[in-house]
Amino acid sequence: MTPTTRTVFSGIIFVFGLLAALPLWAADGAIPHLQRTGNTMQLVVDGRPFVMLAGELHNSSASGIEYLRKLWPHLEALGLNTVVAPVSWELLEPAEGQFDFALVDEMIELARRHHQRLVLLWLASWKNGVSSYAPGWVLGDTARFPRARGSSHQNVKDILSTLSKTNLKADATAFAQLMRHLRQVDGDQHTVLMIQVENEVGIKPETRDLSNEATAAYQSAVPSELIGYLVQHKDQLHPELLRRWQKSGLASQGSWPEVFGAGPEAEEVFSAWCYGRYMDRVAAAGQAEYGLPMYSNAWLADKLGTYPSGGPVAHMHDVWRAAAPHLGVFAPDIYVGEFKEVCAAYQRAGNPLWIPEASRDAEAAARAFWAIAQHGGLGFSPFGIESMAEDHPLVGTYRILGQLLPIVAQAQGTGRMIGVYRQGSENSPGLVDVGNYRVRISYEARLPAKHWPVGGLVIQNGPREFLVAGYGFGCQFQPKTSTRRYTHIQRVELGHFDAAGRWVHELWLNGDETGANNAARIPPMLGNEYLGNNRPMILRVTLYQYD
């Protein structure tokens, strides 16, 4: 390693080292924090698990107080319990060292007035791979705040360098000021639950910064922190990262191309380390002031060069875990059809599933059930939520989930709950384990012409009681083990939970509505007509056994 490169990496690794060494506020259980429950991770707020029924604002919606005031009643009408909102560096620190918290304070006040919580997005050094939310005093001074370089060996437009200590210090200083202010104005009420650090980071179409400084770092030794992590977790590494490391025979020293193979694949690992390390230092500076849970979100991976190289895509999670221990969650922004596959990839190796950004089409109504019930998700949040109409199917899903949240939170991580979601034209899943029963899930073959996406959840809520909620599927039940020969449905109730959490009975759905007590179906049929047509429902199902 050359002296210059050693200085670069020492700066990235140890700048704000004293801050990182300070005790984190997250150790204090009184503020929102992540806590493992069974086989999942939950967000705990005021001593109770909290599931975010959320929506993310458009990027510019949080830039004007009057606009926010007009917007917020609509957000409440959509059934949100959490609003995901940007805080841009350029508006927070319009002149160096001068901070304006008026927009932040207004969002906190509006959320409190409408009985909601907030997740804040720190749009600073990078947003969607570029630095368009950095202040003008940063962007206008390329000598002091250097850019990455592209294939033409020119400054890449508005992409701040990850290797600049000056860039890092300016960002981390502003972020620390934000977190200090949040502690002062919200440290007791806990309106703000989590913080996203930057947004969809990475560089493209290049796979790494091509500046002289970055090239020197790339040709130097892979940091021992990363090598140590890979060696310690060799048997749990993502298969794609392991494949790249195996090119060198699992080398424990050497330059990035020597350890991970020459070319774009090694360059992506290098970029992931650089971005992860930078963002960890920003997060550490903020958590030293107020230790809310922090996360990074990802532009999903496709072919190298088509997505920002260096972001926390699934096959780079191990690199990010080594580089950024102050980030507790790596979250996918999902705009692709393979929703189930992405959820599984991002829950790998214990990563909590939180979807801070997703498409707001009708399928969101079913996808929310899948993320929260099937994967024990922290929450679900379509993008551009203020553009959603109040008759959108997701509003009905949030209404149902809102009634069930205490029960859902209690069931997460226990094996007593599953999610249901028909992705595309896939067939019914058949038998699925739920608690100590097997439940046969069947998608309804005939639904109203204008129907909701098929989705919902099933919870074993007692020894012989289940809650079935959602739309477009039916359930049959059989115990895994039993001393009795037969198990049938005793009764099915349609109902809801009131604001106090009490079950309110609406209809008995026995006999014809269950096919002679054979299956619980939503929506149920009364005669030849579907009850309720286009809305999700809650059924309470009681079973009995006999010989």
Question: Which pLDDT score, from 0 to 100, does residue 14 have?
Answer: 33
Please check the confidence at residue 371 and state whether its pLDDT lies above 90. Answer: yes
Q: Can you give the residue ranges of every domain in the chain?
A: 3-411, 417-546
3-class secondary-structure state, position 269: helix
Distant-in-sequence, close-in-space partners of 249: CB < 8 Å, separation ≥ 6: none
What whole-number distance in Å separates Cα of residue 112 and Cα of residue 40? 29
Residue 5 has pLDDT above 80, yes or no: no
Q: Supply the CATH classification number for the domain 3-411.
A: 3.20.20.80
Q: Indicate whether 529 pLDDT > 90.
A: no
What pLDDT, in 10s, does the model give residues 377-408?
999 999 999 999 999 999 999 999 999 999 99
Helix, strand, coil percentages for the chain (3-state, nearest 5): 35, 30, 35
Tell me: pLDDT of 33 over 70.
Answer: yes
Which residues make Cβ contacts (< 8 Å) with residue 340, sequence separation at least 6?
Answer: 370, 421, 423
Position 152 scores a pLDDT of 61
Distance from C-alpha of 476 to C-alpha of 464, rounded to nearest angstrom: 13
HSE at residue 481, side-chain half, CA atoms within 13 A, is 0
- Read off the pLDDT band of 1 (50, 70, 90): very low
Tell me the per-residue pLDDT of 469-525, one tens digit each, with 9 for 90 and over: 999 999 999 999 887 888 889 999 999 999 999 999 999 998 888 877 788 999 887
The CA angle 33-35-41, to the nearest 5 degrees, is 115
* The domain defined by 417-546 carries CATH number 2.60.220.20: yes
Confidence of residue 533 (pLDDT cuts 50, 70, 90): low
Strand, coil or helix: what is 437?
strand
Q: Which residue has the tokens 């805080």?
A: 87
pLDDT digits (tens, 9 = 90+) for 287-303: 999 999 999 999 999 99
How far apart, in whole angstroms, are the C-alpha atoms of residue 11 and residue 252? 23
- Going by pLDDT thresholds of 50, 70 and 90, the confidence category of residue 547 is confident
pLDDT in tens, 96-142: 999 999 999 999 999 999 999 999 999 999 999 999 999 999 999 99
Percent of the chain clearing pLDDT 70 (strictly above): 93
Tell me if 506 sits within 8 A of 476, measured CB to CB. no
Q: What is the DSSP string of 289-358?
A: H----EEEEEEPP-STTSS-BTS--GGGHHHHHHH-TT--EEEEEE-SS-HHHHHHHHTGGGPPPEEEEE
* 21 — pLDDT class (breaks 50, 70, 90): very low
Q: What is the mean pLDDT of the chain?
A: 92
- Contact status, residue 149 vs residue 155, Cβ threshold 8 Å: yes
Alpha carbon separation from 195 to 179, 259, 348 (Å, rounded): 9, 34, 22
Distance of alpha carbon 535 from alpha carbon 523, whole angstroms: 8
Closest C-alpha to 199, from 302, 56, 63, 342: 56
Q: How far, in Å, CA of 276 to CA of 24, rounded?
A: 19
Question: What is the pLDDT, as a whole number, of residue 157?
Answer: 62
pTM of the complete model beyond 0.85: yes
Instruction: Categorize the per-residue pLDDT at 269 as very low, low, confident or very high, splitting at 50, 70 and 90.
Output: very high
pLDDT at 24 over 70: no
